[in-house]
Structure 1
Amino acid sequence: MAKQYKTLGEDIWKNRVETINAELFIFTYGSIVAQLVKDFEDYEQVNKQLEKMGYNIGVRLIEDFLSRSGWGRCTDFKETMEVISKIGFKMFLNIAPTVTNWSTDSKVCSLILDENPLNDFVELPLDTQHKLWYSNILCGVLRGALEMVQMQIEANFISCVLQGDDISEIRVQFIRHLQEELPNADD
C-alpha cells in the first residue's frame, strides 16, 4: 500500500501541482522566522507563533490536498500518516518522510525527515540549541489539516539536524476523533 501512496504522490507532484521557485520560498520562510525572533525575543514564543501559522495554513491546505489527490477517508491513524507522508508532503514540499517508531497502541509515531527544504541555507546560532524549532510550522500544518478531517493530534519536533541532531524527527500523537458539530439553528 505504501508503494501506491508513493506513486500517487509522485504523480500529483509531476502533473497536478503548480510549483514556485524553491529558493524564493525558503528565503521568504527564513525571513519570517528571523522577524519572529526579532519581534518576540523568546524562542518558545517563536515556536508557538510558527505552530499557529502552520495550523492556519493546514486548515486551508487540506482542501487543496483532497481535491488534487482525490483521496477519500482513511481507515485509521496509521493509514492517515502514510497518506500524509507519501502524498501530502510529496505534493507540497516534494519530500516523503518515513513513518516509523509506532507505539504499541498505534496512536503515536514519528515522521523522519531525511530532507527538509525549509532547512536549506540555514545555520542557527548556538544559543538556540533545542529552544528554537525552525520548521515548527510543519507541526502546525499537520495539526490544522488533520483537525479539518476530525482528527485531533499533537505534533512536536523532538530532534532536528539544525540543532546538531543526526535526524529531524516530528513526533505525532493521535488524541481523539472529533465530532462534527453542526451550527446552532437560527430561530
Structure 2
Amino acid sequence: SRELFVLTYGALVAQLCKDYEKDEDVNAYLDRMGYSIGIRLIDDFLARSAVRKCRSYSETADVIAQVAFKMYLGVTPSVSCSSATGNEFSLILDKNPLVDFVEELPAERASLCYCNLLCGVIRGALEMVHLAAEVSFLQDRLKGDAVTEIGITRSVLSGCSRWPRTRRNQLRAGPPLS
C-alpha cells in the first residue's frame, strides 16, 4: 500500500540522517538510490504504459507527469516549461505523497532534500532512454515554499560511450549503495 511505502521511506530517511552527519551525504545517497531504482523502473514503465517514443522534450515532460507520476505515486504534477529552447521544464506538485506524514524538517537538517530519491529516479529513467538530464528540487514545501517543484534540464552527453550501461560506467556513477 502507498501508506506503507511512505512510512518505510520516512524510516529510511531517518536512518540515513543518523548514519550521515552532513545533509549533502544523505542527499547524495538518496539520489544514487533513486538512480538505481530509475534505471530498473523504466522497463516496468515502458511495459505497463505502452507509451510511444516521445518526439520532443516537452512531450517527455507530459508523459512523466501524466503517466509515470500517476502510475507510481498516484499524483499528477503540472508541467511548466522553463526555457524557450524546450530543454528545461519543471514538475510542480501541489501534493507530494512522500511527505504525507512529515510536517517540517528539523532546523539542523535545513539543507536536507527529503525527497531527493525522486530526482534520482527521474534521472536514471531518462538516461536509460538516452535522455541525460540534471534533476533537482527548485522549491520544497518542507522548506516553506508554496509548492514542491522539481527542475529537469536536458544534458548533453559527450560521446556514446555511456550506452549501454556497463560495469565500467556503473563505477563512474559513484560508490555502490550499501
Aligned twin of 1:128 = 109
Q: Aligned residue for 1:109?
A: 89
Distance 1:69 1:182 in 2: 23
TM-score between the two structures when normalised by the length of structure 1 = 0.82
Q: CA deviation at 1:92?
A: 0.3
Deviation at 1:101, TM superposition (A): 3.9
State the TM-score, normalizing by the size of structure 2: 0.86
Aligned to 2:4: 24
Could you tell me how far apart the structure 2 residues matched to 1:107 and 1:93 are?
Answer: 25
Q: Which amino acid aligns with 2:53?
A: R
Q: Among the aligned pairs, what percent are the same residue? A: 47
Within the alignment, does 1:80 sit opposite 2:57 as a pair? Answer: no
Question: Corresponding residue for 2:26?
Answer: 46
Decide which of 40, 45, 50 is 1:70's aligned counterpart.
50
Measured after TM superposition, the shift of residue 76 of structure 1 is 1.3
For 2:51, the aligned partner's letter is W
Q: 1:62 to 1:39 in 2, by over 3 A?
A: same
Question: 1:34 corresponds to which residue?
Answer: 14
Q: CA deviation at 1:71?
A: 1.0
Distance in structure 2 (CA, Å) of the matches to 1:65 and 1:54: 15
CA drift at 1:127: 2.5
What SS does structure 1 have at the residue aligned with 2:54? coil
Number of aligned residue pairs: give it: 163
The secondary structure found in structure 2 opposite 1:112 is: strand
Name which one, 1 or 2, has greater alpha-carbon Rg: 1
The root-mean-square deviation of aligned C-alpha atoms, in Å, is 1.8
Q: Does the 8 Å CA contact 2:65/2:78 hold for their aligned counterparts?
A: yes
AA aligned to 2:9 is: Y
CA contact (8 A) 2:58 2:81 kept: no
Q: Where does the alignment leave 5 or more consecutive residues of structure 2 unmatched?
A: 167-178
In the alignment, what sits opposite 2:151?
171
Contact 2:34–2:120 (8 Å) recurs in 1: yes
Runs of 4+ in 1 over 4 A off after TM superposition: none
Identify the match of residue 161 of structure 1 among 115, 125, 141: 141
